[in-house]
Structure 1
């Protein structure tokens, strides 16, 4: 039952306490949404910061932030306007629940709170561990690393914009997230975002009449780091929005860092004026790592996973895997999983088995959505229609999530394409892929499931 004192919370004439303001907003929202919606999406939120143009609300995780921002923003914005008697932007900031406390010490600590929480978390990758400290420097990437460090020391003036390009899995994203984390820790406000996320947000801002909110988010910052900019090729509306954002930041002396899988001149179709802007700063590339760098990367990954792998095995992996760093790290993940499953110490036979089974990636083969759903169905012993259905049985849920993850990772389908293929909501696709990615790091059984399914697909494609 709604308590009357919550709904009619009285505020001073010119309220300045974001916590009190947000409590008043929640009181109004309690009358407009169902009890279950309020408890699920709103009860764990709190007022965090207030300025003349916006109120920032802390939320416990990205899932809640996305729900409030994309599905409930209009009623929240109206409730805030009624409480403050003026229109302001409403921003959602992901902060662990323990940060939302009321002590004076906590209020002071907020000013110095790890600002990496200001980084928009990418939908499909957990990157908080990617820092300059654990980036392995070698001949192939030392220029990109040095330029990235310079940007953190002199944002807006050293190498602006900084354009980093390389093949898949060679460290572009690591450097961008390391820059963002470093800048935020030093007190600047930096936003890391993939080009796909930028595109989706821009389109939604137009559709929901929230362009002012979008502009304020991406222009009232100190640094913008946009990953995989090649994604906006051919997207006229997004290129227009990015062009104006780019100009506004550069004119204001703010830092821009861009990554791509190819040089700017080779991104087609891309407006010439955008290409010209990208070429106006420093352009660096990352090459395939040499043998010594690969061994160092493997050793670092092994130590981070607390897995004891001999130097002989690490060298074998480095010699055999020539695709990218991601594949190298995958070898360490697999050897840990196999060791845990079999209770055997890693040896050379196991290493050879892993290399033999390592798929070159389904993107380069003739795999289809049909072949993947068939493999998932057979592996779990669940009919295809049940995998794609709405059953909440844990085994069915895992199979469904792995299917969406493989569509995303191995066929490189967009969120919209996966949503259309599975009949699931955009937010469900994001959640499913995030679950599998997180579980691959902590649950050896999920890693074994994904590895087996990929091997089965590869074997069938080879036979056919």
Structure 2
């Protein structure tokens, strides 16, 4: 029941707290807001204090000691007559975003609001670099029993491990499976708080009574002895109870520095699925899906340039596409190949700053094979000209570090697949063609003297 009797000019406490949440959301990092603020509600007024209902005692303690000044500042801008805030543990009722029958009771504590709702299995682009991790993650939610436990997903930053963990969590929500998704930082903060406030029984109740437990960035617990001890016992309890455990890390178990041997061995009990940087086809598919979802009009050739030049993480890839679209809109120019190349050269100058130039490569290839540059750039299918052409493509890619799309432009506006075909022919020929090996060695020797 809404209590506004003592503050008739104020909005109801739940509405006031929603307004305060809006201010806090722009001032806090997403992880802090999602962990500590989002799953709370304004409960009532007590004299000149706003009472906020929170799910656990360690949430109340954390908010009261860490965020109180910021919360009071937000309250002052909205409702100056409210001069204090307190946090009360209780059953927090949420509006569920899960499709299906309406729920009447309070949402269990383990029903987490996902940090990023767009992270689901359908939006994950599958390629050779992540197929095992994707299939294993789906297996966690599609099969009641799995042949592996835990599932450890390893990758560098921005390659999709968090996406997969949150996709599992979203599927658990849809299937009404009890789950808990946390970051290792959240686990650490709540574990330490539980010790300080002597609420370890509530901590154990929260973390050990779920069917699927997902923890992100496990490397965060490295060097934290008490946290590692708490996680060790949590892991054992869940594993002994045949609960599914999914862990994300930035490295494989035997390279986890600052993690106990007993934990590293447990991480290896199940399946270790490594995600590597996406190949060209996967990068292009990611860009096409991103452009389609955002309703951006950009040609396939332009997307090909981005996919070819940005070989790092998915985050880098999408950032490059955002840069191109923003530049296009700011300059009121179409996002064609010319604009894309200029945008990416500005963003990553190293791509256009090769030590070995195309002029040097053409000159050395022509001198070594006794052909003219016009023969390399032309369309003749004579064997010696094709050989020189393919060697030029190979050197431009591997020695000058030039993107395939740029090579195609330099080599008489040839398309992406033609350049890849030429490079592949040389790569395969080098395994058995001694004459080709000698030609390449001679050209490279000449390049060192240019």
Residue 356 in structure 1 maps to residue 345 in structure 2: yes
Q: 1:176 Cα deviation (Å)?
A: 0.7
Q: TM-score, normalised to structure 1's length?
A: 0.56
Residue in structure 1 matched with residue 160 of structure 2 by the alignment: 171
Classify 1:157/1:312 alpha carbon distance in 2 versus 1 (closer, same or farther; 3 Å). Answer: same
Give the secondary-structure state (helix, strand or coil) at the position aligned to 1:76.
Answer: strand
Select 2:137's aligned residue among 140, 148, 162: 148
Q: Which among 70, 76, 101 is matched to residue 88 of structure 2?
A: 76
How big is the shift at 1:331? 1.5
Against the structure 1 CA distance between its residues 360 and 342, is the aligned structure 2 distance closer, same or farther, given a 3 Å change threshold? closer
Q: 1: distance between equivalents of 2:138 and 2:5? A: 53
Report what 2:445 is aligned to. none
Q: Is the 8 A contact 1:155 1:223 kept in 2?
A: no
**Residue equivalent to 1:138:** 127
Q: Give the alignment partner of residue 294 of structure 1, picking from 283, 291, 308.
A: 283
Counterpart in 2 of 1:118?
111
Find the residue that maps to 1:129 and give its secondary structure. Answer: coil
CA contact (8 A) 1:116 1:185 kept: no
Shift of 1:92: 4.5
Q: Does 1:109 align with 2:102?
A: yes
Q: How does 1:427-442 map to 2 (within 5 A)?
A: none
Q: Distance in 2 between matches of 1:342 and 1:334?
A: 12
Question: d(CA) in 2 for partners of 1:115 and 1:185?
Answer: 15
CA shift for structure 1 position 160? 1.0
Give distance in 2, aligned partners of 1:311 and 1:65: 53
1:161-310 alignment, distance < 5 Å: 161-310=150-299
Contact 1:229 1:260 (8 Å CA) reproduced: yes
The alpha-carbon deviation at position 165 of structure 1 amounts to 0.6
Judged with a 3 Å threshold, the aligned counterparts in structure 2 of structure 1 residues 91 and 209 are, in CA distance, closer, same or farther, namely farther
Q: TM-score, normalised by structure 2?
A: 0.58
Deviates more, 1:232-241 or 1:155-164: 155-164
> Which residue in the other structure is 2:329 paired with?
340
1:349 Cα deviation (Å)? 2.8
Shift in CA distance, 308/117, structure 1 to aligned 2, threshold 3 Å:
farther
| Residue 34, structure 1, aligned to residue 27, structure 2 | no
Q: CA deviation at 1:158?
A: 3.8
Could you say if the C-alpha distance between residues 205 and 343 of structure 1 is closer, same or farther in structure 2, counting changes exceeding 3 Å?
Answer: farther
Deviations 1:243-301 (A, max 9, x none): 11111111111110011111111111111111111111111111221111110011011
Equivalent residues of 1:130, 1:174 under 8 A apart: yes
Against the structure 1 CA distance between its residues 2 and 297, is the aligned structure 2 distance closer, same or farther, given a 3 Å change threshold? closer
Tell me if the contact between 2:119 and 2:166 (Cα under 8 Å) persists in the aligned partners.
yes
Contact 2:150–2:244 at 8 Å: present in 1 too? yes
Deviation at 1:356, TM superposition (A): 2.2
The separation in 2 between residues aligned to 1:252 and 1:69, in whole angstroms, is 35
- The structure with the larger Rg is 2
Q: 1:71 and 1:189, CA in 2 relative to 1: closer, same or farther beyond 3 A?
A: farther
Deviation per residue, 1:290-320 (Å, 9 max, x gap): 1111100110111111111111111111110
Match of residue 391 from structure 1: none
Specify the SS of the correspondent of 2:88. Answer: helix
CA deviation after TM superposition for structure 1 residue 66, in Å: 7.7
Contact kept? 1:222, 1:254, Cα under 8 Å: yes
Q: Secondary structure, in 3 states, of the residue corresponding to 2:116? A: coil
Unaligned runs of 5+ in 2: 7-40, 69-84, 351-450
Counterpart-to-counterpart distance in 1, 2:109 and 2:127 = 27
How many Å separate the matches in 1 of 2:170 and 2:120? 7
Q: Which runs of 5+ in 1 are unaligned?
A: 5-24, 46-54, 58-62, 78-89, 100-105, 362-464
Separation in structure 2 between the aligned mates of residue 238 and residue 285 of structure 1, nearest angstrom:
25
Q: Give the number of aligned pairs.
A: 298
- Rounded Cα–Cα distance in structure 2 between residues aligned with 1:112 and 1:290: 47
Name the structure 1 match of 2:95: 95
Deviation at 1:129, TM superposition (A): 0.3
For the 8 Å contact 2:110–2:179, the answer to whether it is kept is: no
Moved over 3 A (4+): 1-4, 63-75, 90-96, 111-117, 155-158
- How large is the RMSD of aligned CA atoms in angstroms? 3.9
- Matched residues in 2 for 1:162 and 1:273: separation? 17
Deviations along 1:148-174, one digit per CA (max 9) or x if unpaired, are: 111111256342100111122111111
